Amino acid sequence: MKSKMKRNTAGVLAGILLGTAFLGGCSNPVSTILEKPVFKVGKESCSREDARAILMNYQKEYSNLYGIDMWEHDYGQEQSLEDYIKDLTLAQMAQVYTLDVIASEKGVTLSEDEQKKVAEAARTYLDGLEDTERDYIGLSEKKAKKLYERYVLAEKLYETLKKEVNQEVSDDEARVMKFKQIYTADAAKAQDYMAQLQAGADFESLAQTANEADTVDINVNRTTFSDDVSQQLFALTDGGVSNIIEIDGGYYIFYCSSAFDAELTEAHKMDVLEKRMSDAVTDTYADYMSQLSSKENQDVWSEVTVDTSLKLESASFMEVYQQYFSAKE
């Protein structure tokens, strides 16, 4: 899995718990808040110790971003940095725990070698922590091992689901075309330029003086513009000129310099395949999320806070993860 899962899952899958109808129900009077998990997905529970490990991971990542103390910086935003990284933590962990539930149902398990590496990673992580960091997260070796196991299993399922996708990408699906463009923010100017072209003006010469965009030459694939614009452009052949096309309040005229660039098309096939595989995983994920029961204990989560007194000089949870499992990236 690519680093986007490891570092920034607050995209398509972000807020998956926040957007789910959590289950209600009466609390057990015998249970105390200390025994309640941060959240549950199916039968899987996320402890506050697990959450602190990942929260501290994000805290280290953002603490000294751009060489400034992020906790002392005033952004003028309604959401604090602490709330922001707590949202990232919750989104990522909810994703991982849900993927683990799916892995269990699909019979995806860790190999003996993966289990050994998980145990080694857990020991390396805990042994490398400062006493204050270890006290903050309160994670035992057994729980650290389980947390690494969850992340490895989630990634293994992710890769398994991607491999089930059709790997063939046609030239037409990945086709990349080359165009020259004339852009203007003025509709009257666009009409004038079109009249000049229809009267026989050379497109490239006109573009060099009339184009208001940063560049004249552009490459276009099927996702560069909206479906409507793409249909118009992909209908052109070499030497063809488009009508005036309005895009985001501006006016464009395109000249097709190459209706099929073989080299760029071949390179773009990997991008098309990656998106196809990512969409397949997201669809599977969304399907399971619609069926799984889930619950967030906001009273517990509100008590999990950032400790800004920590020096954070030790290797973070994900840094150790990448050390042992980076071959899968």
Strands 177-184 and 44-46: unpaired
Strands 250-258 and 177-184: antiparallel
* CATH 1.10.4030 domain locations along the chain: 3-166+273-328
Contact predicate 318/6, CB 8 Å:
yes
Mean pLDDT of 222-232: 98
CATH (one of 1.10.8, 1.10.150, 1.10.4030, 1.10.3470) for 3-166+273-328: 1.10.4030
Q: What is the pLDDT of residue 14?
A: 36
* CATH 3.10.50.40 domain locations along the chain: 177-259
Cβ atoms within 10 A of the Cβ of 171, count?
Answer: 13
User: Does the model's pTM come out above 0.85?
Assistant: no
More confident residue, 147 or 10: 147
Instruction: Report helix, strand or coil for 186.
Output: coil
Q: In this structure, which topology does domain 177-259 adopt according to CATH?
A: Chitinase A; domain 3 (3.10.50)
pLDDT band at residue 233 under the 50/70/90 scheme? very high
Is the pLDDT assigned to residue 8 strictly greater than 60?
no
Please, what sign has the CA dihedral across residues 107, 113, 117, 120?
positive
* Degrees, nearest 5: CA angle 269-274-276: 95
- Closest C-alpha among 312, 311, 313, 316 to residue 121: 316
Q: What is the pLDDT of residue 34?
A: 54
- What span, in angstroms and rounded, lies between the C-alpha atoms of 284 and 38? 24
| Main-chain dihedrals φ then ψ at residue 124, nearest 5 degrees | -60, -45
**Segment 101-146, tens digit of pLDDT:** 999 999 999 999 999 999 999 999 999 999 999 999 999 999 999 9
b/e 278-305 (16+ beta carbons within 10 angstroms → b)? bebbeebbeebbeebebbbbeebbeeee
